[in-house]
Amino acid sequence: MTATPTAHRLPSVGDTLGRYTALRIEALPEMSGTLVLLRHENGARHAHVAREDDNLAFGVTFPTVPRDSTGVAHILEHNVLMGSRKYPVPDPFFSMLPRSLNTFMNAMTASDWTTYPFSTRNVQDYDNLLSVYLDATFFPLLRYESFLQDGHRFEFETPDDPTTPLKLQGVVYNEMKGAMASAGSVMWRSLGQALYPDLTYANNSGGSPEHIPELTYEGLRAFHAAHYHPSNAYFYSYGNQSLEHVLERVEDQVMSQFPAQTLDVSIPDQPSFGAPRRMDVVYPGSDTERGAQALVAWKLGRSSDPDLNLRWSVLSDVLLGNAGAPLTRPLIDSGLGSALADLSGYRDSFREGAFAAGLKGLSAGKADEVEALVLATLGQIADAGLDPALIESSLHQFEIAQKEVSNSGYPYGLQVMFRLLGPWLYGGDPVTGLRLDAELGRLRADLADGKRVFETMIAEGLLDNPHRVTLNVTPDPELAARTEQSERALVERLSADFTDEDRARIVRESLQLQSLQGQESDPNVLPTLTLADVPAGVARPEYAAEQAGRALVGRVPQPTGGLDYLDVQVRLPDLGDLLDVLPLYAYAVTRSGAAGQDYVALARRAEAVTGGVSASAAVGTAPDDLGRVRLALTFSGKALARNGGDLVSLLRDVIAQPEFTRERLRQLLEQRLAGLKASVVGSGNAYADRLASAQVSLSAATDERLGGLSLLANLKAIVEGGEGQPASLDDRLDALLARFAELHTLILRGQPLLCLTALPDDLELDLTSITGLFTGDAAVGVPTPPRPARTPQARLTDSPVAFNALAYPTVPYTHTDSPALLVLSRLLRGEYLLPEIREKGGAYGAAAGFDTRAGVFSFSSYRDPHVRRTYEVFQNVQAFLAGDLGERELTEAILSASKLLDPLTSPDTVGRLRFFGDQGGYTPEVQEAYKARLLAVTLDDLRRVAATYLTPERAAYALVAGKDPNADVQELGLEFEVTKV
């Protein structure tokens, strides 16, 4: 989509705009933008980045420094989004989602700030969202019932029966119980506590489940009044829009209603340690063989110092940035653990920065060895000196990061916000977050003078620095049970002297909350877009396609900032049971050696001339036939245009001549296994959804083998041994290597599609060394994954909460019912599942999804305290649809669905999406026909498709949970097949 460029006038330094004064104007040449910094009379700060980008962004950020672990900042973030003065509906934030064409809406609580960002390509939508965000943050109702619902409350097991057992409930309470079950979050919380024990970072800003019940309603309100004030706010606006217009809105809606206020949220320095320390932490887990992590961490200087910040970032990348890096390699080669510990590297998200390195996948009791190895290796590096080529490679990575403009991950406008917030919130210069040239220049000058810049930092900042902690994180198989026990003890202690009156109050409050949740509210007080705002077309970026032998090559001209993006997609022939080998091959191939270079040499080569290369396997389905499924392996990479030729030759070597060794493969499989195991408690809903969908769809069954719990099981059998596997690990690895060789032959017989995205002048890159590799003539195959039986499947893992899923087979993309199913999924999510499962059930999330290409309709819940209750909600969809639904619900669901058809793109993605979409049959005509049908969907269509496709005999069940669900679901007539993950 091209916006008509309109020049918006920017102020000069010293100009006043209302009660704002422009303090600084800075050009940002790397991103073709301009930064304007302003200050309001009452102390509020505002940063505006003017840039030719039609995806407009906004954010308001408050430093929030909790003094305890009750989760006050986090619970406040939830409560702020639950009704405000102008918008007194229970959940304006969720209600706005479907009334908007936003490309991003969220709120986040970090350890010392809370932010509320959004972005959208629609100008009216921007004003609407701005109004809702400002009212929510500055004028929230903070109702007592919201505090009970999302914070914490007592509830009787049967809410209106005070003779049943008492329980603790609350959305954040359950969210944090789930979060504290993962080693990664436990480490993150512990790092702050270990390095900064006297500061706010020692607290769990998300809330520790055992301390959340200590938060009072009055405490929550006081925290809001103290922190969410204009004088303590950092506003941000971005894009091709009028700054004056934004400021006027903020003035009218917020500034005019507050007197100035001073609040001291400054964070002091952490007094330095006299000697290194040690901290032992446990998390609930049963993998005592490989579930431990050890991390050596140091406190550094102020992270708002731009020179320090840049230098530690570069050093961190030099030491740990790739598999061949001088600190990474000895750690991995030691065989102590399988991968770098979570949080390894430099962090500037504390006022004083931190550097850390360590290993995960350890058995217990290895922390001392890891610590000794980290220190010894750093000592050797400091003595021997760093290879200047490694430093040059890292600086080249910073050059790429500065030039790249991508909406992948976060919208670019919000990436810019996070970059400037770093130094800004800690009293540094926000410009340094966006423009590194001065700091880079000073660093290069010091290096050119022969100064041992980085060696000195290692010696003084790390080895001689006594402010060091070794974190030893181990799984404790009994912890989950102990936590449950202490939760019961906590409930008993807190309720020990409850009178009958107290019990009556709990019943009353539960019922009050229930009736509030059941109450109809009128979302029409909220602003909205209409169906007329949905753009009718889809993006049609131009590209040229040419046949080169068996290969089809697309060349896409885009304003990439001087980067080249290259994808080599190989559509694969029939793989048979090599399907299970494919995801392992994809993971290993860019992390091993190639063409005579070992993995270390290849990793260094990639770091020196590219911005990264990767490979991934994916499944595609024809738009008109759910049986026409195919597999592709895609190799991707990016590089500065001056290194385009090097990128091509690197990818060629990886595709044509990969070299796997048993030893490296062992390391990689252990890493991958550790990563997958750790992901289960955080993404149980996705795994459960895949497992349910696999029972009803060929495409989903294939996808489950590529990235579901089947992959985890296969990998575990290879790494840890198992039934039907050779007894020795070496034999198992050799068997896999033989399978890799077979697969490699088949890949080169596949059908290649290449797509190059670059500036027009860089498009003539010679790709023949890659296209010439594919000389075979094998037909593209249809995968034949082992199909799981249509039986409810339960997978047990270390989790105090459940993830429930239910899937139904439906129709292909071009079928006339497909758009109605997509709209239905959006309607159910917002109008039915969130109120029933999140608000009433206390789960952190719930969703209905429709995979338009695989043709699978599914339900899932996230961090859910219930199983039976949730399945009842899923099964009762027809009854809900028979109820009172109107035009508003329909319009919102259609708007919301249309967003999925118009994803936010950027120069790096827009052309390749079009090229590969066209080749898969998803042409602009096919997509626009879908959109036209979507806009015409009626409520009757929704009821009809639900009655046709969401029927009991088509349903497939799967869940991931901590315990056997069968006793609980008996009365639903379900029986789950239970296995351990």
Closest to Zn ion by CB, 108 or 226: 108
Distance CA(413)–CA(104), nearest Å, equals 10
Distance CA(847)–CA(858), nearest Å, equals 8
Closest to Zn ion by CB, 185 or 693: 185
CB of 859 to Zn ion, least distance (A): 21
CB of 510 to Zn ion, least distance (A): 22
CB of 220 to Zn ion, least distance (A): 14
**Residue 93: both structure tokens together:** 């934030």
Closest to Zn ion by CB, 180 or 586: 180
CB of 842 to Zn ion, least distance (A): 13
Q: In the bound complex, which residue of the shown chain has the CB atom lying closest to Zn ion?
A: 175
CB of 83 to Zn ion, least distance (A): 17
CB of 927 to Zn ion, least distance (A): 35
Interaction pattern, residues 676-715, with Zn ion; x per rule: CB under 5 A: ----------------------------------------
Q: Which of residues 863-882 bind Zn ion (CB under 5 A)?
A: none
Classify residue 761 by its DSSP letter: G
Closest of 43, 47, 36 to residue 19, by C-alpha = 43
Q: What are phi and psi of 653, to 5 degrees?
A: -60, -40
Q: Which of residues 413-452 bind Zn ion (CB under 5 A)?
A: none
Handedness of CA 794, 799, 800, 804 (dihedral sign): negative
Distance CA(980)–CA(964), nearest Å, equals 10
Closest to Zn ion by CB, 803 or 871: 803
DSSP letter for each residue of 351-370: SEEEEEEEEEEEPTT-HHHH
**CB neighbour list of residue 321: distance below 8 Å, 6 or more residues apart:** 328, 394, 397, 607
Interaction pattern, residues 360-389, with Zn ion; x per rule: CB under 5 A: ------------------------------
Closest to Zn ion by CB, 176 or 755: 176
Q: Which of residues 576-595 bind Zn ion (CB under 5 A)?
A: none
Closest to Zn ion by CB, 175 or 902: 175
CB of 207 to Zn ion, least distance (A): 9
CB of 205 to Zn ion, least distance (A): 11
Closest to Zn ion by CB, 572 or 681: 681
- Please report, as a single letter, which amino acid is at residue 808: Y
Distance CA(657)–CA(650), nearest Å, equals 10
The residues that bridge with 471 in the sheet, in sequence order, are 279, 295
Burial of 789 (0-12, 13-18, 19+ CB in 10 A): exposed
How far is Cα of residue 278 from the mean position of the Cα atoms in its chain?
A: 31
Q: Which of residues 48-67 bind Zn ion (CB under 5 A)?
A: none
CB of 42 to Zn ion, least distance (A): 30
CB of 835 to Zn ion, least distance (A): 17
Closest of 809, 825, 814 to residue 942, by C-alpha = 825
Q: How many residues bind Zn ion (CB under 5 A)?
A: 1
Closest to Zn ion by CB, 175 or 864: 175
CB of 75 to Zn ion, least distance (A): 8
Closest to Zn ion by CB, 150 or 968: 150
**Residue 325: both structure tokens together:** 């890096």
Closest to Zn ion by CB, 78 or 591: 78
Which residue, chain included where needed, has tokens 């009028």?
242
CB of 71 to Zn ion, least distance (A): 9
Distance CA(581)–CA(931), nearest Å, equals 38
Residue 195: its H or E element = helix 183-195
Interaction pattern, residues 165-184, with Zn ion; x per rule: CB under 5 A: ----------x---------
Task: Dump strand ranges (E) for 612-750.
Answer: 613-622, 625-640, 658-659
Q: Which of residues 953-972 bind Zn ion (CB under 5 A)?
A: none
The residues that bridge with 239 in the sheet, in sequence order, are 50
Secondary structure of 260-292 in the HEC alphabet? CCCCCCCCCCCCCCCCCEEEEEEEECCCCCCCE
* b/e code 581-594 from CB counts within 10 Å (16+ = b): bbbbbbbbbbbbbb
Closest to Zn ion by CB, 179 or 833: 179
CB of 860 to Zn ion, least distance (A): 18
Closest to Zn ion by CB, 171 or 416: 171
Closest to Zn ion by CB, 81 or 678: 81
**CB neighbour list of residue 258: distance below 8 Å, 6 or more residues apart:** 42, 138, 229, 230, 231
- Residue 726 near residue 877 (C-beta atoms within 8 A): no
CB of 108 to Zn ion, least distance (A): 9
Interaction pattern, residues 127-166, with Zn ion; x per rule: CB under 5 A: ----------------------------------------
Q: Which of residues 525-564 bind Zn ion (CB under 5 A)?
A: none
How far is Cα of residue 327 from the mean position of the Cα atoms in its chain?
A: 27
Inter-axis angle of helices 72-80 and 217-227, nearest 10: 80
CB of 172 to Zn ion, least distance (A): 6
Distance CA(121)–CA(119), nearest Å, equals 7
Q: Left, alpha or beta for 641 (phi > 0: left; psi -120 to 50: alpha)?
A: alpha
Closest to Zn ion by CB, 142 or 374: 142
Rg (CA), the chain: 28
Classify residue 835 by its DSSP letter: I
CB of 74 to Zn ion, least distance (A): 6
Q: Which of residues 621-680 bind Zn ion (CB under 5 A)?
A: none
CB of 80 to Zn ion, least distance (A): 12
Task: Dump strand ranges (E) for 641-783.
Answer: 658-659, 751-758
Burial of 234 (0-12, 13-18, 19+ CB in 10 A): buried
**Residue 495: both structure tokens together:** 């309720």
Closest to Zn ion by CB, 175 or 371: 175
Distance CA(968)–CA(735), nearest Å, equals 43
Closest to Zn ion by CB, 62 or 585: 62
Distance CA(926)–CA(920), nearest Å, equals 11
Burial of 888 (0-12, 13-18, 19+ CB in 10 A): middle
Closest to Zn ion by CB, 630 or 863: 863
CB of 57 to Zn ion, least distance (A): 22
Distance CA(628)–CA(856), nearest Å, equals 15
Closest to Zn ion by CB, 175 or 836: 175
- Residue 224 near residue 142 (C-beta atoms within 8 A): yes
Which residues bind to Zn ion, rule: CB under 5 A?
Answer: 175
